[in-house]
Amino acid sequence: MAQQQHNHKVVENLGKFLADTYTLYLKTQNYHWNVTGPAFRDLHLLFEEQYQDLAGAADEIAERMRALGEKAPASFTAFSKLAKVKEENSNPDHKTMLKNLAQDNQTVAETCEALIKSAQEIGDEGTADLGIRRIQVHQKNSWMLNAHLQ
Ligand SMILES: [Fe+2]
């Protein structure tokens, strides 16, 4: 019973992590499409690299939920309820884009950390490993995005 309750926590955290990852994926792709300015080519390509990685990660997270016997949330309505990352509805300049994505990657890293802790608590090494791999990507993304602002 206690194990099931803990497992429920891991599944819930996986859903939140999926929602954040997918929202950041869309936001990064939005910026890939809409970025302007003197660093256009660099940022267009940097955002492309990041959104492609995020698309793969979303798939992996959803399939981890399926491997644990749960259905994965998979609609914008569901994601908007679960995600901490805010979607983009305006047209920010390139510096604001970089700032937003750097902050959003930190937010996803925090979501990821909660997932890792809940998985480790019940000895779910597979989920913990997924989280540990992904948290490094989000920390690296944040550094790279911030580096463009210095
Ligand atoms: Fe493209």
Above 90 in pLDDT, residue 100?
Answer: yes
User: How large is the angle between the packed helices 94-121 and 2-34, nearest 10 degrees?
Assistant: 160
pLDDT > 70 fraction of the chain, expressed in percent and rounded: 96
Q: Which residue has the tokens 């793969």?
A: 56
- Whole-number CA gyration radius for the chain: 16
Instruction: Tell me, in angstroms, the distance from the centre of ligand 1 to residue 52's CA.
Output: 10
DSSP for 86-107, please give it.
PPP-S---HHHHHHHHHHHHHH
Instruction: Give the pTM.
Output: 0.95
pLDDT at 142: 98
pLDDT in tens, 45-94: 999 999 999 999 999 999 999 999 999 999 999 999 999 999 999 999 99
Residue 1 binned pLDDT confidence (cut-offs 50, 70, 90): very low
Instruction: Tell me, in angstroms, the distance from the centre of ligand 1 to residue 48's CA.
Output: 6
- Give the C-alpha distances (Å, rounded to integers) separating 150 from 33, 112, 138, 139, 143: 23, 27, 19, 17, 11
Above 70 in pLDDT, residue 6?
Answer: no
Above 70 in pLDDT, residue 4?
Answer: no
CATH number at 125 reads: 1.20.1260.10
Give the helix ranges, DSSP H, for 39-93.
Answer: 40-67, 76-82
pLDDT at 5: 58
Specify whether the CB–CB gap between 90 and 102 falls below 8 A: no
pLDDT at 7: 87
Instruction: Tell me, in angstroms, the distance from the centre of ligand 1 to residue 45's CA.
Output: 8
| Domain assignment of residue 33, given as a range | 2-147
Above 60 in pLDDT, residue 2?
Answer: no
Average pLDDT, the chain: 96
Instruction: Tell me, in angstroms, the distance from the centre of ligand 1 to residue 33's CA.
Output: 7
- Number of structural domains (the chain) is 1
| Burial class for 25, CB neighbours closer than 10 Å (0-12, 13-18, 19+) | buried
Instruction: Tell me, in angstroms, the distance from the centre of ligand 1 to residue 119's CA.
Output: 35
pLDDT in tens, 114-140: 999 999 999 999 999 999 999 999 999
Instruction: Tell me, in angstroms, the distance from the centre of ligand 1 to residue 112's CA.
Output: 27
Output 6 or 7, whichever has higher pLDDT.
7
